[in-house]
A and B are shown apart, each in its own frame.
Chain A
Amino acid sequence: DAGVTQSPTHLIKTRGQQVTLRCSPISGHKSVSWYQQVLGQGPQFIFQYYEKEERGRGNFPDRFSARQFPNYSSELNVNALLLGDSALYLCASSSGYANTGELFFGEGSRLTVL
């Protein structure tokens, strides 16, 4: 079975541009979470979606947005990119809403903002 897949794996943008990152969860998983991992730090929670509804948002500006589609895949959008948005963006899926289960992470999308 396929794990969590993310695309693109690497991308380079310039300040002020917009970026869309994509995530396909494990088949049967209804929850998708997004995390930002800046170099040298642990992942920071951005969003969780469950059954196509936003269930949680971390401490990120409104330039960050996301959505979940009927097939449970998800997109993360970042507008007006700043140099500080350079990071590895991780998507994780789980079968349920709460943390009693395991989060399965993808390999991430590495964003470089120049």
Chain B
Amino acid sequence: AQSVTQPDIHITVSEGASLELRCNYSYGATPYLFWYVQSPGQGLQLLLKYFSGDTLVQGIKGFEAEFKRSQSSFNLRKPSVHWSDAAEYFCAVATPNDYKLSFGAGTTVTVRA
């Protein structure tokens, strides 16, 4: 069964600084990979997804992620963080043609002025 590890529980970053959130997955083949964001009191919103092809994926809100097969990783990045990026971020994995997502435990991002 596939699984996801997000090593960082909490990250604090200054506004305007860059952000990188780590995600490692466990799966025998290339899975489908996703990053979701959850603001306080909100549901989950999809930031970006990777199925195949170009390993650098662009998403909404200025986020990008890079799939590295050799490292089983799918790290999320943003060059310059805004205060509104403070939220919880979840990496998720799915097998092709499957019906469920397996989520990591999440990383909470705090943005300081």
On whether the two chains bind one another, the answer is: yes
- Show the binding face of A for B, using Cβ within 8 Å: 4, 31, 33, 40-45, 48, 50, 55-56, 58, 90, 92, 97-100, 102-108
> For the complex, would chain A's binding face be called helix, strand, loop or mixed by DSSP majority?
loop
Task: Report chain A residues within 8 Å CB of B46.
Answer: 102-104
- Give the residues from 34 to 79 in chain B that come closer than 8 angstroms, CB to CB, to chain A: 36, 41-46, 49, 51
Asked if B98 contacts A99 (CB within 8 A), the reply is yes
Task: Report chain B residues within 8 Å CB of A105.
Answer: 36, 43-45
Asked if A45 contacts B102 (CB within 8 A), the reply is yes
- Show the binding face of B for A, using Cβ within 8 Å: 4, 32, 36, 41-46, 49, 51, 90, 92, 94-106
Task: Report chain B residues within 8 Å CB of A33.
Answer: 99-100
Asked if A55 contacts B99 (CB within 8 A), the reply is yes
Give, as a whole number of angstroms, the nearest-CB distance from A7 to chain B.
14
- Return 5 A-B CB contacts under 8 Å, by A number: A42-B104, A45-B102, A99-B100, A105-B43, A106-B43
Task: Report chain A residues within 8 Å CB of B98.
Answer: 98-99
Task: Report chain A residues within 8 Å CB of B103.
Answer: 42-44
Known: A99-B101, A100-B32, A100-B51. 15 other contacts (CB 8 A): A4-B43, A31-B99, A33-B99, A33-B100, A41-B105, A48-B100, A55-B99, A90-B43, A98-B96, A99-B96, A99-B99, A100-B96, A104-B46, A107-B41, A108-B43
Give, as a whole number of angstroms, the nearest-CB distance from B113 to chain A.
26
A108 to B103, CA, bound (A): 16
